[in-house]
Amino acid sequence: MTDTAQTSDPQTDPKTPALSPQDMVCFSLYSAVHAMTQAYRPHLEALGLTYPQYLVMSALWSAGEAPTVGMLSRQVQLESSTLTPLLKRLEAMGLLTRRRDAEDERQVRIALTDAGQSMQGRTSHIAGCIAEQSGMSVDELLALRDQVSRLRDNLRKG
């Protein structure tokens, strides 16, 4: 095989043009996440919540019983060092309580207060507003969610 027949390696070949951010999947994902959190902002500000707080509250609304901090951490994919201060702020807002598990005091259980539970009704419109703002059909949004989740899972395996 001659040198001219070999394919070039884009990582080492100086003749390979650099990708601009607009050409990168990572930039598309990053900028979409930024746009998504900006779209949520006015809805959540009216409730006094940040986007991460909203994710935690959504996880709690869908939980059957009082989850542990560890269970919640896995569900919202936040480290406990990030989640604990967030939970303290939500507790100070009167939306949840944290208590040691009676059977295993190493575990901390999270439970919604009445105020935290009633907030769910005030958020029911948000998903529809975001879906409408996206300009995508429900099927397109679900397919996108599944593709991005698969990408995330594959990257974590690597």
- pLDDT greater at residue 103 or residue 56: 56
For residue 98, give the nearest of 89, 86, 87, 85 by alpha carbon.
87
- Min mean pLDDT across 2-11, 18-27, 36-45, 123-132 is at 2-11
- Nearest-angstrom CA–CA distance, 94 and 115: 7
- Min mean pLDDT across 7-11, 42-46, 50-54, 65-69 is at 7-11
Q: Does some domain include residue 95? A: yes
Number of domains in the chain: 1
**pTM reported for the whole predicted model:** 0.83
pLDDT tens digits, one per residue of 69-105: 999 999 999 998 999 999 999 999 999 999 998 888 8
Q: Does some domain include residue 85? A: yes
Average pLDDT over residues 17-27: 90
Q: Does some domain include residue 13? A: no
**Unique residue bearing structure tokens 């059957």:** 64
Q: Which domain holds residue 54?
A: 33-129
Q: What CATH number is given to the structural domain containing 118? A: 1.10.10.10
Q: Is the pLDDT of residue 10 over 80?
A: no
pLDDT at 8: 57
Q: Does some domain include residue 149? A: no
Q: Does some domain include residue 145? A: no
Q: Does some domain include residue 75? A: yes
- Nearest-angstrom CA–CA distance, 13 and 7: 10
Q: Does some domain include residue 4? A: no
pLDDT at 9: 59
Q: Is the pLDDT of residue 36 over 70?
A: yes
User: Cβ atoms within 10 A of the Cβ of 60, count?
Assistant: 23
Helix (H, G, I), strand (E, B) or coil at 112: strand
Q: Does some domain include residue 55? A: yes
Helix (H, G, I), strand (E, B) or coil at 110: strand
Report residue 16's pLDDT band, with 50, 70 and 90 as the boundaries.
confident
For residue 47, give the nearest of 129, 139, 116 by alpha carbon.
116
75-106: b (≥16 Cβ within 10 Å) or e = bbebeeeebeebbeebeeeebbeeeeeeeeee
The residues, ordered by sequence, that sit 6+ positions from 90 with a Cβ below 8 Å of its Cβ are: 53, 56, 57, 96, 116
Give the max Cα distance, the chain: 74
pLDDT tens digits, one per residue of 115-145: 999 999 999 999 999 999 999 999 999 999 9
